[in-house]
Amino acid sequence: MPTVALTRHGDVAVASLDNPPVNALSAALRADLLQALAQAMADADVVALVIAAKGRAFIAGADISEFGKPPAPPILPDLLAAIENAPKPVVAAIEGVALGGGLEVALACHGRVASQAAKLGLPEIKLGLIPGAGGTQRLPRLIGAAAAFPMMLSGEPIPAQKALALGLVDKLVESDAVGAAIALAQELAGKGAPTRTGERSDKLTPAEQEAFEALAKDALAKSGEMPNVAALVEAVRAALTLPLAEGLATERALFVKLLGDERSKALRYVFFAEREAAKVPGIDESVKPRPIARAAVIGAGTMGGGIAMCFANAGIPVTLIETTQEQIDKGHARVRDTYGFSVKRGSMTEAVREQRMALITPAVGLAAAAEADIVIEAAFEEMGVKREIFGALDTIAKPGAILASNTSYLDVTEIAAVTSRPADVLGLHFFSPANVMKLLEIVRPAGVAEDVVATAIGLGRKLGKVPVVVGNCFGFVGNRMLEARTRAAERLLVAGALPHEVDAALTGFGFKMGPFAMSDLAGNDISWRSRKARGKSAAVADAICERGWFGQKTGRGYYRYPEGARAGERDPEVEALIAEVSASKGVTRRSFTAEEILARLLDPMVNEGARILDEGIATRAGDIDTVWLNGYNWPAWRGGPMHWAESVGLGTIVKRLEQQAAESGDVSLEPAPLLRKLAAEGKGFSATKAT
């Protein structure tokens, strides 16, 4: 099947790209487009060519799935050189998104028309790359480096209106971009030889260079672990200082080097893992989601309020419910204040805040949930409370309404069982702050209806979340693995490490916070209560809580927080307490390197992940990584815990776990059978049966 259809509209040829779903520039598309270009240029009756596209995207960029394979000719830079150097004008008709290589195609054209809804961007930075087909050279020539550099640095696409203002597109139309592009192509053909972006130098001014250097300095200072920011700076600098051919060669060399970088590979793995997570066994397009016109959220605490904001942000009316007027007033005011921060920062106008607030109806009493198509309970984390609420909801909610619990740990099947409609009940686990964090764990208990799961997935996307469907077990995927890490952190303290050493190892790895700083922030009493409810103990953590050192809110936890400071200081009393615990257990304390600490924190998580995979709680290793990347701030360039484990080597992880299990006598550290099996076979997690 050819991916490009060449048609004639008077004396203009139109090459219409058709490579579903998003017209990625696969080898076949590149070859077909080059052929269409040659054909149009050779046809004496054709004065110009329009490049248009079928489907929801103009072109979504290079085909990311081809990265890592030997490049098949024609490579993109060669195709774009042929377009730019064509003897007759070539005009891009951009409807939908023009991203990465897709925008680079448009930049190589001699004119660009966009529809109002189009979006244009160079998102390569998010994949650990830089534009690799002339974007870093042609965009600064077209719109100036001071505007081009931030676009490439953020990777965020810009709306067509802004593209017009920047001179990135020549014309904006309500509809029929192809018709307008044909008209522009004819106009350009009448003017003789086309203007080539690569030959322009009017924007390569000292003022642009100066503005760019200031932006570059700032960007480099903030670039952290990613090598592509420095590469981007170097490429744009080449655009400003070197002839086009040399600039293109510089860009290409940098791009190819980044393709082989492990951090960049991890980001590409994440791109596909997140998309694969959307594919859920048993839920295909034949399962029709239920309509969601109105929602209700029970509990107006920080979590409930954040969830209500998610609905309001997506334009869905929501009733926020509490048990007393005083509590709902407080919760409602907190939502208003949270929006207030955005208004203060300038990321939201007062008018938008009012629009969002108007979508949130405060109410007292569960009866207010009667009209909702979905009810999300975000009340106290205790089974008795959940049972009571779901029992009442069963009599109040309308038939067909979805009843969801935001529980972080509890058994959703048990919650569903108190209703007469367990097929309508599932878990929707948001992460705090719910209006910010991207992850939505959709907990699928055994008896839930398929269309309820499909509705939850669709709703999650509508709320701007990354939904991951998981099985029902204690803590589901994320918190079950977090618990493994928490136990590991406690073991490290008893064995000889100190809180700041453990935290530093994790922040050095790329996390924003270590486990103890995090626990102090969340409140150490939360996990203490949970441990007590389950008859579990953790000697150091319990001793700290017994002293009322609950964390930041009490001014003391694993660290001291003088006068409400947010950054903790080492606390000699805590350190003495830890030493006492070690002594009481007969442990001779020893020091640990950051590398040892990391292995001891992360290997048990991977072990738990392997069990989760084996039990079918997660469908694939990529789902587990998606959970950790979007719910727990695992550094994206490390690809998630399962990807990280593969990069370390599963055999190494097995050996380290065996050693830890032998040392500690803790059987939970014995390598999971799946982990052992894959390591013995020299395979990765992608070889598991569930994938």
Active site residues: 104, 124
Residue 129 CB, shortest distance to ligand 3HC, in Å, is 6
Q: Pattern of binders to ligand 3HC over 271-290, x per CB under 6 A?
A: -x--x---------------
Nearest to 14 by CA among 56, 49, 47, 58: 49
Residues 10-49 that bind ligand 3HC (CB under 6 A): 21-22, 24
Largest separation between any pair of C-alpha atoms in the chain? 92
Residues 530-589 that bind ligand 3HC (CB under 6 A): none
Nearest to 541 by CA among 559, 558, 566: 558
- Residue 363 Cα to chain centre, angstroms: 33
Q: What is the rounded distance in angstroms from the CA atom of residue 275 to the CA atom of residue 127?
A: 14
First-to-last CA distance in the chain? 29
Nearer residue to ligand 3HC within complex by CB, 200 or 462: 462
- CA triple 102-108-109, angle to 5 deg: 95
Distances (CA, A) of 61 to 67, 253, 468: 12, 19, 26
**Lookup: tokens for 138:** 């042609």
**Residue with the shortest CB distance to ligand 3HC:** 100
User: How many of the chain's residues bind ligand 3HC (CB under 6 A)?
Assistant: 25
Give the phi and the psi of residue 117 in degrees, each rounded to 5.
Answer: -85, -5
| 214: DSSP letter | H
Q: What is the rounded distance in angstroms from the CA atom of residue 242 to the CA atom of residue 594?
A: 44
Nearer residue to ligand 3HC within complex by CB, 178 or 270: 270
Nearer residue to ligand 3HC within complex by CB, 60 or 177: 60
The interface region with ligand 3HC, picked from 98-106, 354-362, 510-518, 682-690 by CB under 6 A, is: 98-106
Residues 216-275 that bind ligand 3HC (CB under 6 A): 272, 275
Residues 48-87 that bind ligand 3HC (CB under 6 A): 57, 60-65, 76
Residue 73 CB, shortest distance to ligand 3HC, in Å, is 15
Nearer residue to ligand 3HC within complex by CB, 100 or 568: 100
Residue 54 CB, shortest distance to ligand 3HC, in Å, is 14
* Residue 123 found at the interface with ligand 3HC (CB under 6 A): yes
For ligand 3HC, which residue of 135, 460, 557, 684 counts as binding (CB under 6 A)?
A: 135
The interface region with ligand 3HC, picked from 124-132, 464-472, 502-510, 558-566 by CB under 6 A, is: 124-132
Nearer residue to ligand 3HC within complex by CB, 267 or 477: 267
Q: What is the rounded distance in angstroms from the CA atom of residue 165 to the CA atom of residue 457?
A: 37
The interface region with ligand 3HC, picked from 99-107, 368-376, 416-424, 630-638 by CB under 6 A, is: 99-107
Sheet holding 158-159, edge to edge: 57-59, 97-99, 119-121, 158-159
* Residue 304 found at the interface with ligand 3HC (CB under 6 A): no
Nearer residue to ligand 3HC within complex by CB, 120 or 540: 120
Q: What is the rounded distance in angstroms from the CA atom of residue 662 to the CA atom of residue 169?
A: 65
Q: What is the rounded distance in angstroms from the CA atom of residue 157 to the CA atom of residue 123?
A: 7
* Residue 124 found at the interface with ligand 3HC (CB under 6 A): yes
Q: What is the rounded distance in angstroms from the CA atom of residue 515 to the CA atom of residue 598?
A: 12
**Lookup: tokens for 615:** 């039990």
Distances (CA, A) of 207 to 145, 212, 240, 296: 10, 9, 11, 54
* Residue 460 found at the interface with ligand 3HC (CB under 6 A): no
Nearer residue to ligand 3HC within complex by CB, 22 or 270: 22
Give the footprint of ligand 3HC on this chain (CB under 6 A).
21-22, 24, 57, 60-65, 76, 97, 99-101, 104, 123-124, 127, 131-133, 135, 272, 275
